[in-house]
Structure 1
Amino acid sequence: MLRAKEFCERFGLKRPILLAPMAGACPASLSIAVANDGGMGAAGVLMMTSSQIDAWVKEFRQSSDGKFQLNNWIPAAPVKRNPEEEAKVRTFLESWGPPVPAEAGNTTLPNFKEQCEAMLRAKPAAISSIMGLYSADFVQLMKKEGISWFATVTTVEEAKLAEAAGADVILAQGFEAGGHRGSFHPGDAESRAVGLISLVPSIVDAVRIPVVAAGGIADPRQIAAALLLGASAVQIGTGFLRTPEAKTPQVYTDAIGKTAPENTRVTRAFSGRAGRSIATDFVRAASAPDAPSPAPYPVQRGLTAPMKALGQKIGDIHRMQAWAGQSAALAEAAPAGEVLTRLWDATRKILQDGSKL
């Protein structure tokens, strides 16, 4: 509780609960609700242009004076294209959706430099990283603006590298987390998979900066456990996707509420990088022995775009990108502020008097 209190005081929070910066699933309305109830809002800006980042920040600040973080992926080296293998993927995907043009894999990501400038311009409480570390020059610019750097890591080794590079807080992402694995190297996402109950205390012992537990947290018992393991706060993503402020499609919301831990799966089928999804029919088919290997990121993201768009249009969860953590079924379908309040009040009761839920 002392660690949590110190973390809240340092970052201007009332509750040590952070919204996970889920790219494409963090409308300003959700962050506003979380921040107005004392948590920290978030936006994953991966697919946002600088002007879209500006607009998100403007919308947030029109309705909240609370805190938020902005998150971005560290760019990876250009990938080597393989037209023959991509053709196999397109043929496979066409059995799940409309025809996939050959040029669909020519995905162009927003300008990273301009995104970084927009994040600095916004002056959030924190800028967070995933898939690697920001450059020393950008870290210096963050410090100059009084912005804290929250670094997402998946191993003790990555945590040490982040601290040495100047990170202010470590976001320890367990293998239970929904969405993309934050490993610095794509090949490590599955081969170096560590669960949160092992990861948090190991990182706490290895670094001197605060650690935030992330991955598979959607319940007061899990928050209490994370704090007992040494975390100063927790970060929750899937646990907020059933709130009305998240604006999650109803079919996706319903699926989250019915997904047992064993019915999620780490897959590269949606984007080319490993992420945890509901084990939909498509995810299962894409992992079959006779299925083609996914193209690398971001090529696979472009190739699956027609199928995902169709899924959204017709409300078919089996054709949608349905990221979810292993605690998905614990997510509550209620207003985000109410969810946040109940989570923290119940956590405090567990830690203060040993109450069981």
Structure 2
Amino acid sequence: MTVTMTTPVVRRTKVGWGDLLWLTWRQHRWLLGGLAAVVALAVLSCLVMAWTVDSTGTSRHDFLFLGGFNGATQLVSMLPMAFGGVIAVFWAAPLLAREYEQKTNVVVWSQDVTPIRWLVGKVVLLGVPAVGLAAALGSAVLTAQHAINSTTEGYLPFRPFQAESFEAAPLVQIGYAAFGFALGLAAGAITRRVVLSMGLTLGLYVVVRGVVGILWRPYFQTPLRQMEPYGVRENSTMWSDPDDLTMRVTSGYADAAGNEIEFPRDCARSYDTNDGFQNCVRDHGIVNTFRDYQPADRLVSFQLFEFAVFGLLAAGLLALTYVWVRRAHRA
């Protein structure tokens, strides 16, 4: 009699979210902990300064070597402007690139963890904390800025449309962090080299932020135009309002019909007296001066629009990374 022996099939337990969370923490605990500590220190400093200013009614307090709360707040306000870039270059860019460069993707992306499941795990377990830290940092910086503004007379150190204030809004910070994280992942998936992906991410992040923030932001909506007769500029609040909450887009000269006219530089070189200069300017058709600006009531809508821009860019880059990784794995 022949006895047929069968070997039982052993099924390996599927890697769950708890396992991915533990693995992610083990791999990135120093980066996570270090960045979280820096953000926590900045948040605590901002809240302490804001509480002190609100309690005493003045911002004239010494703060380490910075000379006062105004200088300290100016320095801390730089952090939200750079935080998304830090996430992009040092947090996201090496994730996929390191796996490809060190050939560990062959082991990591086994039958237990597919490339897409690994990618989704990284996005959730690292991307969500990134945007959370960005929102917390922006909220704390805005709190300190508002406290400083409330005790300053004659001018506002932090105006709403000023880059340090505009970009510290939590919703805008979330957009920057999401975009930076998605950009770093996409660069790592395409280049498969850590240093190259970090350099490419930094360059693209700076370019995109510059295009949106400097070139496009002033024209999210058609600017309003304020016109005044030429020659009253010196006494006009249109040019020197210390509490101006608007975004100044551009200014210049116009004729009687409101058409822009380039300033006649020959007048400045041809006349030594003010009367002769003024007559020369008027002879060239200049009747009015104008200023194009964005009013203060558009602040929130501008911030929502900028968040939407970077949110859509982030979604597109994540989709690109998904398709690229999936196609590369199948190949």
TM-score (norm 1): 0.21
Structure with higher RCO (Cα < 8 A, 6+ apart) = 2
* Larger Rg over CA atoms: 2
Name whichever structure is richer in strand by fraction. Answer: 1
Name whichever structure is richer in helix by fraction. Answer: 2
TM-score (norm 2): 0.22
